[in-house]
Amino acid sequence: MKTVTAAQEFEKIHTGQSLPSLTKHVTVEQIRQYAEASGDRNPIHLDETFARSAGLPGVIAHGMLTMAFANQMVTDWLGDRSLLKRLQGRFAGMVLPEDDVTCSGTVVSKHPQTRHVVINLVVVNQRGEKVLNKGVAEAEFPPQRSETHAA
Amino acid sequence: MTDPRWVGRSYETAPYQVTEQSIRDYMAAVGDLRDEGELVAPPTYAMVYGFDAYWQLWSDQEVALDVAHLVHGEQQFRFHRAVKPGDRIRTTGRLTAINTRGDMELVTFELNARDDEDRPVSDGEALFIIRKP
């Protein structure tokens, strides 16, 4: 049976709260699949010989694959992909096949007037080295339904 | 060094027809398979409908970026609305800056994606780093 997750409630979020982390094991097959799905077939992601000739240790994952993991961590927590309004990050290190990357995030501010929250993000590899830093996500929640009180 | 006179050059994609298959292929590739009921593309799917703008920049023979030594350094997105099957999206990319830092060249590329009614879908900014060989 399919389970559809419930959306996060704005009222229950608090500053300082950690999001559930997300770990992904990256493979050559996944990098190939991402190249096909995104259209980005740059040989540094696909061709070992080319990647080495470009001065890399071998094929590397697309930075945007790492950002897609960070995106997923946030939207898994939100329970609604359409709430994510902003996402940014700096690709601080290379991700290679067989790396395990872990995304984590913390709510750094909550704005009741505009019903949005700001989340700081970081992605590290299995050695604890940052592969994405200066990560920021912003989610905006729809206006609260007006309370129905008996007159 | 890329000639700074190309700052301001822009590229427009053909309208990208968003299909259920294309969204599902992307979700499978990144491993983001959670079911929300209605199919909404993960926001970073912006790289799929906008990719041709990046590609046009990278393959522009006049600008001639050294793509063999180019890596994606930073990326930002603003998402104005959810993307669903049936959307048709055009993305305009604009080369907005070329700077040097040490032995690296930094290329800034802005992206604006709009739907068939010319409403904004997403905006982005990419920073590419070209390491000198």
- Looking at this predicted complex, what is its ipTM? 0.95
Which of B105, B108, B46, B78 lies closest to A87 in space, CA to CA?
B78
Which residue range(s) make up the domain with B19? 4-131
CATH code, domain carrying B50: 3.10.129.10
Q: Write down the pTM of the prediction.
A: 0.94
Q: In chain B, how many domains are there?
A: 1
Nearest CA in chain A to B83: A82
Nearest CA in chain A to B31: A69
DSSP string across B91-128: EEEEEEEEEEETTEEEEEEEEEEEETTS-EEEEEEEEE
- Which chain B residues are closer than 8 Å to A68 by Cβ? 30, 32, 42, 44
DSSP string across B20-33: HHHHHHHHHHHT--
B10-43 tens-digit pLDDT? 999 999 999 999 999 999 999 999 999 999 999 9
Domains detected in chain A: 10-25+67-140 (3.10.129.10)
Do residues A109 and A118 lie in contact, with contact meaning Cβ atoms separated by under 8 Å?
yes
A25-65 tens-digit pLDDT? 999 999 999 999 999 999 999 999 999 998 899 999 999 99
